[in-house]
Amino acid sequence: MINMIGTAQTMTVIAKEEEAFVLEKRGEQVKLPFTNAANLNLAVGDTETVFIYRDYDHEIVATTIIPKIQVGRYAWGTVTDVRKDLGVFVDIGIPKDVVVSMDDMPALNHLWPKKGDRLMIALRVDEKDRIWGVLGEEHEFKAIATKATQDMFNKNVTGTVYRLLKVGTFVITEDFHIGFIHESERTSEPRVGEKLEARVIAVKPDGTLNLSLRGRVHEVLSDDAEMILTYLRSVGGKMPFGDKSDPDAIRAKFGVSKAQFKRALGTLMKERRIKQEEGFTYLIEKEETPEA
């Protein structure tokens, strides 16, 4: 029976007991409780496709609910509970949740999934015939990925985090594009399974995306910084003003104090939108994006 656990099997009804049908295939028998059967009118000799699993009473039983997630078959499941001493419980559609072991979770607890997050998993069966969830690895996501097109640049996409690295975060979007968020483009580190919205800052030649969780410049910059950007664009991207310019000249040109002007310049330099050289400020319209 161990070879059938965690898989869908077409079996034959060989008996009907008080609370369950008895199914058989190649000499292996399993019970299909009436509570797990979509058709209660099965008769001896009928065949039925069922999914085999171990229930909360530790009995190997069948259900007519056929989950997409099976041994060797990856699909999305929804997190229903988290236990730091055991792992993450995932709803795959059958009457019992599946556990993804704590050993497969990030070392930092705050990066574990939360209830309502989703994980792409398959199933594995251990030596005690117990079913565990197995997180999808990089090659599984690449196998289902589609290539992004250049017209996606600067658009917002929604995706789910599936891999964490020190240098950044991998997500797969709702349209199955793989995206990478460099650590410099995160406001905080997302957790595994988290659904998030990000902005496309580059479409790479291989069809993957570089993403940012930081807002667009017009969403995150102050009015003063926006004004400076607008002015730079209007004069060809270069101006004879910087953080050492005369306060009166700054107020005459921009209508703000030198302190306000310096704060705005500092923000723009941190955002890598401008640079200063020899008393001039230059606009940087495009920046290099980090590689995944």
Could you tell me the CA-to-CA distances from 173 to 208, 234, 251 in Å, in that order?
A: 11, 37, 46
Is the pTM value of this prediction over 0.95? no
Dist CA 32 CA 17 (whole Å):
10
Query: What does each of the 292 residues of the chain score in pLDDT, given as a tens digit?
Result: 668 999 999 999 999 999 999 999 999 999 999 999 999 999 999 999 999 999 999 999 999 999 999 999 999 999 999 999 999 999 999 999 999 999 999 999 999 999 999 999 999 999 989 999 999 999 999 999 999 999 999 899 999 999 999 899 999 999 999 999 998 888 789 999 999 999 998 999 999 999 988 765 545 567 788 888 888 988 889 999 998 999 999 998 888 899 999 999 998 898 888 999 988 999 986 443 334 3
Query: Cα 269 to the chain's mean position, in Å?
Result: 31
Element (H, E) at 139: helix 138-144
Residues 6+ apart with CB under 8 A from 72: 122, 123
Structural domains in the chain, CATH included, are 8-63 (2.40.50.330), 75-136 (2.40.50.140), 146-212 (2.40.50.140), 218-283 (1.10.10.10)
